[in-house]
Amino acid sequence: MNFYLLRGRLFRGFWLFDCHLLLSLTQRRSPTFYLTGNKNVTNNTQSSSLSHVFTQMNVTLFDPSCKKSEGLPQSQRLGVDSVAQMDAAFLNKFPSQCTLSKSMKKMRFEIVAICGFVLGAWAIPLHADSDAIVSKPFGKTTAGEPITLYTLTNDKGMSVSLMDYGATVVNLLVSDRTGKLDDIALGFESAEPYFTKSPYFGATIGRYGNRIAKGTFQLNGEAYHIPTNNNGNSLHGGDIGFDKHMWKAETIGTTPPAIRFTRTSPDGEEGYPGSLDVAVTFTLTDKNQLRISYKATTDKPTVLNLTNHTYFNLAGAGNGTVLGQVMTIHAKAITPVDSLLIPTGKIQEVEGTPWDFRKGKAIGTDIQATGGNPIGYDHNFVLDKGATYAAQVYEPASGRLMTVTTDQPGLQFYSGNFLDGTLTGKGGKVYPQYSAFCLESQHFPDSPNHANFPSTVLKPGDVYKSTTTYSFENK
Ligand code: BGC
């Protein structure tokens, strides 16, 4: 539990205890009755037994809330002849004759008011449901459509902000080992730079994550052509991928907070066949997990590879490079690429190569040996089946530890090679090369052109479902 929340809970606990004490001091207590009288021992002839009979009795009331001036204790002479009659109902006929003093009354009123307030506050959970998801306007698309930013906050204070443009992660606030929150996702302060400048910061990628060679593939004997927006190849869905569309947002829960983005990608959009209904649900659990679940159906056979493109820097976005952050990837192979980052079709073992992250090492350790232009990691890792997690990244200074689990067969590890310091993001921070990493859970790039890769074909009647979770803790 977060230190601040624990302190809050203890504070409330002490308040309640104090209220209880104070109230009990000013409480009008039940009058105490003292019995005095003449007791005769008589022979009860009817029952042939001895009984104690009070022939006369004095009842003395002592009421602790009485003022001295009210002249108590009071005495009353009662005409009772049996102890049995001194039951509660009988005694209730003798209520206290005196009143609470004025100052005591005022004090009681104040205590009741304060305690009522504190109790009211106690009744509201530390993290009110109404705060779990808040929304605010976040600009307009070039077509004038309003964009909304939704912030999901969990019980621990972790939060994720998402906009309906591109179903995009805009902010991700995660605490370090001292409890201090930092935004660890690269991005912009307003929606506008996302339209043209963003290298897919935080976006939902579709229909096809990563590259399709020459923007061409065959499906059921038919050739399809999609936009070649990256060196003669198609990247992340083409010119206007899922990241450049408005999605319909819907809150689907507050404990834990969850939001679902949906859209229909029409038949032929960016050259892909079939009308595709897509839903992406982001859930922020109380265990500090950002869970992303995808669901899609089509009315014609199509190819599909959905992912999220958040750029993480566990030291905080814009706080230097990620080269010192320690990466573990449970993958004993990668799909090697050519100079334009198109898979060769081979599955290559990582043993003895810069791509061996199985035992964990700083991202910068072997990065120069990866080659490429620009140099760096930009590869699909073939995830080991049955591993406890896909990848883990640790940032020693903050203590932040991120664990990625997924049901996807691949993970694109991209070390921000194309970032070059020309983008200025949130808080005026500049993003230099290697200032973030992406871990994009996915099917292998260019799968439609490689029969040996797991299939990415979605048929009518089938439901595409996939979940990836980014979990955060401190070490
Ligand atoms: C790709 C990179 C690309 C980056 C931003 C990654 O998924 O693998 O090659 O530069 O996205 O577009």
Domains, the chain, in order of start with CATH, read 3-131 (no CATH), 141-474 (2.70.98.10)
Question: What pLDDT shows up at residue 74?
Answer: 42
The rounded Å distance from CA 414 to ligand 1 centre is 7
Ligand 1 atom index nearest CA of 445: 8
Rounded-to-integer distance, Cα 231 and Cα 215, Å: 10
The rounded Å distance from CA 249 to ligand 1 centre is 26
Residue nearest to atom 12 of ligand 1 (CA): 199
Identify the weakest region by mean pLDDT among 50-59, 269-278, 421-430. 50-59
Amino acid (one-letter) located at 418: F
Once rounded to an integer, what is the mean pLDDT over residues 259-280? 98
Rounded-to-integer distance, Cα 16 and Cα 26, Å: 16
The rounded Å distance from CA 6 to ligand 1 centre is 42
115 pLDDT more than 60? no
Which letter does DSSP use for residue 189 in this model?
S
Helix (H, G, I), strand (E, B) or coil at 109: helix
- The percent helix, strand, coil of the chain (3-state, each to 5) is 20, 40, 45
> In a mutational test of the pocket of ligand 1, which residue from 200, 414, 440, 442 has the highest number of ligand atoms less than 8 Å from its CB?
414
pLDDT band at residue 109, thresholds of 50, 70 and 90?
A: confident
> In a mutational test of the pocket of ligand 1, which residue from 200, 244, 307 has the highest number of ligand atoms less than 8 Å from its CB?
200
To the query of whether residue 309 is one of the catalytic residues in this protein, the response is yes
The rounded Å distance from CA 441 to ligand 1 centre is 13
What's the gap between Cα 455 and its chain centre?
32
Residue nearest to atom 9 of ligand 1 (CA): 378
- DSSP per-residue string spanning 227-271: ---BTTBEETTSTT-GGGSB-EEEEEEETTEEEEEEEEE-TTGGG
To the query of whether residue 270 is one of the catalytic residues in this protein, the response is no
Q: How far is CA 444 from CA 379, 438, 467, in A?
A: 10, 15, 16
What's the gap between Cα 443 and its chain centre?
26
Residue nearest to atom 7 of ligand 1 (CA): 210
Residue nearest to atom 10 of ligand 1 (CA): 418
Rounded-to-integer distance, Cα 387 and Cα 186, Å: 29
- Asked, as a colleague might, if the bond just before 207 is cis with ω within 30 of 0, I would say yes
What tens digit of pLDDT does each residue of 208-232 get?
Answer: 999 999 999 999 999 999 999 999 9
- The secondary element (H helix, E strand) that includes residue 470 is strand 464-474
What tens digit of pLDDT does each residue of 131-154 get?
Answer: 899 999 999 999 999 999 999 999
Instruction: Beginning with the edge strand found earlier in the chain, give each strand of the sheet holding 159-163 in spatial order.
Output: 133-140, 146-153, 159-163, 168-175, 181-183
Taking all residues of the chain, what is their mean pLDDT, rounded to a whole number? 85
Ligand 1 atom index nearest CA of 440: 7
Instruction: Beginning with the edge strand found earlier in the chain, give each strand of the sheet holding 438-442 in spatial order.
Output: 348-349, 331-335, 378-383, 410-414, 438-442
- Asked, as a colleague might, if the bond just before 199 is cis with ω within 30 of 0, I would say no
The rounded Å distance from CA 243 to ligand 1 centre is 13
Rounded-to-integer distance, Cα 238 and Cα 272, Å: 10
Q: How far is CA 379 from CA 150, 203, 310, 437, in A?
A: 32, 19, 16, 12
The rounded Å distance from CA 210 to ligand 1 centre is 7
The catalytic position among 236, 309, 330, 379 is 309
Rounded-to-integer distance, Cα 69 and Cα 97, Å: 12
> In a mutational test of the pocket of ligand 1, which residue from 212, 420, 438 has the highest number of ligand atoms less than 8 Å from its CB?
438
pLDDT band at residue 44, thresholds of 50, 70 and 90?
A: very low
Question: What stretches of 112-221 adopt beta strand conformation (E)?
Answer: 133-140, 146-153, 159-163, 168-175, 181-183, 204-205, 211-212, 216-219
What's the gap between Cα 345 and its chain centre?
38
User: Which residue has 């579709």 as its token pair?
Assistant: 206
Ligand 1 atom index nearest CA of 309: 7
The rounded Å distance from CA 48 to ligand 1 centre is 106
φ, ψ dihedrals at 23, nearest 5°: -65, -40
Once rounded to an integer, what is the mean pLDDT over residues 348-359? 98
- Return the structure tokens found at 452: 């040996």
Buried b (16+ CB within 10 A) or exposed e, 236-255: bbbeebbbbbbbebeeeebe
Is pLDDT larger for residue 275 or for residue 32? 275
The catalytic position among 269, 270, 395, 440 is 440
Residues with CB under 6 A from ligand 1: 199-200, 210, 341, 378, 412, 414, 418, 440
- Return the structure tokens found at 45: 């002839």
What tens digit of pLDDT does each residue of 9-27 get?
Answer: 555 555 555 656 665 665 5
Is pLDDT larger for residue 48 or for residue 278? 278
Once rounded to an integer, what is the mean pLDDT over residues 245-263? 97
Instruction: Report the DSSP beta bridge partners of residue 76.
Output: 59
Ligand 1 atom index nearest CA of 418: 10
Neighbour-count burial of 323, counting CB atoms closer than 10 A to its CB (0-12 exposed, 13-18 middle, 19+ buried): middle
The rounded Å distance from CA 348 to ligand 1 centre is 20
Q: How far is CA 173 from CA 19, 176, 177, 180, 181, in A?
A: 37, 10, 13, 9, 6
Q: Tell me how long the chain is.
A: 475
> In a mutational test of the pocket of ligand 1, which residue from 205, 230, 235 has the highest number of ligand atoms less than 8 Å from its CB?
235
Rounded-to-integer distance, Cα 338 and Cα 379, Å: 11
